[in-house]
Amino acid sequence: MAKRAEAYKDEDPLFFSVRKEDNEFSVLSSSLNKMLHRISKDKRVLQETIGSLQTINQELKQAQNDVIRAEKLATVGRLTSGIAHEIGNPIGIVLGYLDLMKQPGITPEEQEDFIARSEKEITRINQIIRQLLDMTRTSADESKPVEVHCLLEDLVSVFTYQPSAGEILFESNFKAPQDLVHADPDRLRQVFLNILLNAVDAINADPPSQPRIQLITEGPVDMDKKQGNGRQTGIKIRIEDNGPGIRTADLPHVFDPFFTTKQPGKGTGLGLSVSFMIIEKLGGHLTASSSAANGSAFHITLPLIDPEQSRRNGSLPAD
């Protein structure tokens, strides 16, 4: 029996042989065989359950990506509705210059001036469209080193074409000496864009005398996580506006799915919920604060990565 136990394999149909003349061993062998049959059956059920859970997990990931993609398109749609008007203006200017160049009697100098002005407006249109394409392209969910400051500056430039933000002063105060994080740049851009659009909407709902949105970074801050022999450090990003703020009763629910204080058709209620999910997956934190006197603020903390190590790994180009 000891030798049989040592040589046992899952595929063995009968583990212990039974002889009628061995009454006690017969009972023991039969019981052991039944036990092993149950174990084998339970193992098959467990394997089937694991396979089913793996399939469900893949489906959940796909559903999560679909929700992120849908909210991304909704966010870009909010941005595009304002930018569409901004594209129409330079197109009208270019058409005007083309019409002027058709007029008889214009000098070569005037013609060159009209061409230069038209090129400037076309370049402006091209820049707007390129930024929109960057935001709408499908994310491959590929994480890489991302410079937070550059990403924020790029987004602020987008709002120069947004009529609803024309009166708002954007102030950047990047105090963090390090800003390199490991993330999917498209998804991180989606988070910042959603928060900025919400800030613009809040200000326009009840405009202060001097509308302002501030983008502030600080760090390094302690992430309370272990990394190697030391603690994980992070960068803290704060985006705040001087709008009317979030009501105290609504503040605990701002990250709940489908929660929105906007009019029907003005928001999906998923923007901040998806943003929270993206930041949490990056190992960071997203919180909100608000007061009637100072408006709303969103606080994002993301783990930093070592620039030198990224360069050695080849994920960041050398200076």
The pairing of strands 295-303 and 169-174 is unpaired
Q: Is 210 exposed, middle or buried (0-12, 13-18, 19+ CB in 10 A)?
A: exposed
Cα–chain center distance at 251: 21
108-136 helix and 23-101 helix, angle to the nearest 10 degrees = 170
Average the pLDDT over 297-308 and give the result: 88
Whether 78 and 136 have beta carbons less than 8 Å apart is answered as: no
Q: Which of the four CATH numbers 2.60.40.1730, 3.30.565.10, 3.90.1150.10, 3.20.20.70 does domain 141-312 have?
A: 3.30.565.10
Does the predicted TM-score (pTM) go above 0.75? no
Termini Cα distance of the chain: 70
Query: Phi and psi of 147, rounded to 5°?
Result: -90, 110
| pLDDT tier, 264 (very low <50, low <70, confident <90, very high otherwise) | low
Joined together, the tokens standing for residue 276 give 């929270």
Q: Where are the domains of the chain?
A: 2-59, 141-312
Is 310:145 a contact under the CB 8 Å cutoff?
yes
Other residues' Cβ atoms within 10 Å of the Cβ of residue 266: 10
pLDDT tens track for 64-113? 676 766 666 666 666 666 666 567 767 877 888 888 888 888 888 888 88
pLDDT tens digit sequence for 196-241? 988 998 898 888 889 999 999 998 888 876 555 567 899 999 999 9
As a dihedral over the C-alpha atoms of residue 81, residue 83, residue 88, residue 94, rounded to 10 degrees, the angle is -160
Query: How long, in residues, is the chain?
Result: 319
